[in-house]
Structure 1
Amino acid sequence: MKLLVIVVGLVAAAAAESPPIFQDYHEEIGIPAANRIKLLEESIDFDGSRIAGGQPSQLGSHPHLGGLLITLTNDIISICGSSLLSNTKAVTAAHCWRHMSHQARSFTVVLGSTRLFTGGHRTDTSNVITHDNYNMFNLNNDVAVITLSHVPYTNHIRNIALATGSSLYVGVWASAAGFGAHGDNVLVTETQAKHEVILQVTTNAICARTFGNYVVAPSTICVVTSNGRSTCGGDSGGPLIVSPEGSPILIGITSFGHRDGCQRGYPAGFARVTAFESWIRSNL
């Protein structure tokens, strides 16, 4: 009986120490999302133009947004997002390339499209550099740079500038975009495509009330979510931007949400671009 109590206590302690974020991105989120989107694109004819509670994103909006079709080493397909920084470089979350038991073999970067599996400018690459201090357990330093063959700029494909300086952006309204889920438990019959949503940046102290300081580092930037509006499963690696004077600037890279879902009112976390600007530039 005493041994059983000890074992139960250890299990409970381990569960308590586990941060309330996904434990295996590709298994829990990326692979199911890829299957759902592929089914939709094969069975539903839509011209739409996944973000929970957001609005359809037209072809010309967020021209820096790149969808990622990820071929894992077991040949299963997963998805993420990315942001185009130049004709040959993009940035995404490190967990899109490697997380727990899953390692990517290659990315297909999809630009200038509202769909993932068809259309747009598509380029394959396995040239991906993840941050040296990336921690797959708490998603600190969750940043990776992708090298692409030359991507031509068009009305629907354009690079985005990196945020610089020391601003924390607290209280600022920012725009997130992605190809991920449109919400928790969304029926597969719903039409889905690239979506965008406006969210307000909050303090890391407020964010840490949900995720703890083990997850929320100074290099994290968080947004508050309300009324069912948030980034959602499959948006990982995509952009969080502000547009002062109409010029978009990348301030965050979608990193984590709460494991219970994206429409529960919990904050959402991003890699803070100003914290990684010098590292990103050193790999451009």
Structure 2
Amino acid sequence: MRIYLLIVSCLVAFVVARAPPPFVEPLMDYHETVGIPLATRIKEAEDAIMMGADNVVNDVRIVGGAVAPVNAHPYLAGLLITFVNSPGTSACGSSLISANRLVTAGHCWYHSLQASQFVVVLGSQYLFYGGTRIATSTVFVHPQYSPSALVNDIAVIYLPTNVYFSPSIRPVSLPSSNQLWDSFTGAWAVAAGYGKTNDQQVGVSVSSIVSHVNLQVITVQQCQAVFGSWATSGNICTNGAGGVGICGGDSGGPLVINRNGQNILVGISSFVANAGCELGYPSAFTRVTSFYNFITQHM
């Protein structure tokens, strides 16, 4: 009997050890649940900073990351978003890829709420103050974008005028032709954005400035083990071990790899686990190489 129980116990332990991770759904209804509340908090934080308030919470924005040095990510642009027939302002990130083009997530333009205008904020650590600010309503979302499944989650933003390059405003490179088939698995990348810093953040933060974090790229299969069919070959995912990654409000922002001193855009922040940002789940980005033709058609 003891031998039998030992065998059964070993089998149970083996099954538990081999059991797949629990399925996790991405965060949905971005603008209502994340973007609009986040923009409100950032505005309050920046107003307090500009007025010299001394009671602002000291925090950073990307989970597990740090405040980015000035001009560390001159290609990162903030988006202030207004909507068709709906009040409120939402927030996203984007990446400058030429003097008059940027890329962002499709769900920043439409995800239960339809955007009417982006105000693109370049060359500033803040969303509501400083920098170069250009309004545009010319946004091309991928024709097969699905807001319910978050597939083909990419859009190209057209600016009505060219921006002047400077140390704080400069485009990021797209992958070269010989990198289009690179999975980048195992590579270290940097994500930057304006998102909230933790799952409990409700107050204002002194670092309503840009934050960034180093993340390691994992395989699509590792991502699918957590997100199931939500993760596809059109995604590039990063390891969340240690509670690091993107969080609500980082949507549309860049995932960049440095190769031989050149910053290369490999991902666009797409989704995180609905369960929370700090639980060690992967972060999912739109894979730029999968949409290279779509992007270059709009250059």
- Does the pair score TM above 0.5? yes
Q: Secondary structure at the match of 2:87?
A: coil
Q: CA RMSD in A?
A: 1.6
Give, in whole Å, the separation in 1 of the partners of 2:183 and 2:283.
Answer: 15
Query: Does the alignment pair 1:82 with 2:97?
Result: no
Query: Does the alignment pair 1:260 with 2:271?
Result: no
Q: Secondary structure at the match of 1:95?
A: helix
Give, in whole Å, the separation in 2 of the partners of 1:137 and 1:189.
Answer: 31
2:24 touches 2:275 (CA, 8 Å); kept in 1? Answer: no
Match for residue 23 of structure 1 among 25, 28, 36: 28
Q: Secondary structure at the match of 2:41?
A: helix
> Larger radius of gyration, structure 1 or 2?
2
Residue aligning to 1:175 = 190
Residue aligning to 2:261 = 246
Residue aligning to 1:10 = none
Residue aligning to 2:217 = 201
Please give the per-residue CA displacement for 1:77-129, whole angstroms capped at 9, x wherever unaligned.
000000001111000000000012x0101000101111000101110000000
Q: Which amino acid in 1 is paired with 2:66? A: Q
Which stretches of structure 1, 4 residues or longer, exceed 4 Å deviation after superposition?
none
Query: Does the alignment pair 1:147 with 2:162?
Result: no
2:123 touches 2:169 (CA, 8 Å); kept in 1? Answer: yes
Query: Does the alignment pair 1:44 with 2:55?
Result: no
Q: Which amino acid in 2 is paired with 1:90? A: L
Match for residue 270 of structure 1 among 273, 285, 288: 285
Identity %: 43
Residue aligning to 1:156 = 168
> So what's the TM-score if we normalise by structure 2?
0.85
Q: Which amino acid in 1 is paired with 2:250? A: D
Give, in whole Å, the separation in 2 of the partners of 1:61 and 1:233.
Answer: 21
2:42 touches 2:204 (CA, 8 Å); kept in 1? Answer: no
Residue aligning to 2:143 = 132
Higher mean C-alpha displacement, 180-189 vs 158-167:
180-189
Give, in whole Å, the separation in 2 of the partners of 1:23 and 1:279.
Answer: 25
Q: Secondary structure at the match of 1:263?
A: coil
Please give the per-residue CA displacement for 1:3-57, whole angstroms capped at 9, x wherever unaligned.
xxxxxxxxxxxxxxx96112211011101110110110111347x9921111111
How far the C-alpha of 1:138 sits from its partner, in A, is 1.4
Q: How many residues are aligned here? A: 264
1:65 touches 1:239 (CA, 8 Å); kept in 2? Answer: yes
Match for residue 35 of structure 1 among 35, 40, 54: 40
Gaps of 5+ in 2: 1-22, 53-57
Give, in whole Å, the separation in 2 of the partners of 1:219 and 1:155.
Answer: 32
Give, in whole Å, the separation in 2 of the partners of 1:147 and 1:54.
Answer: 30
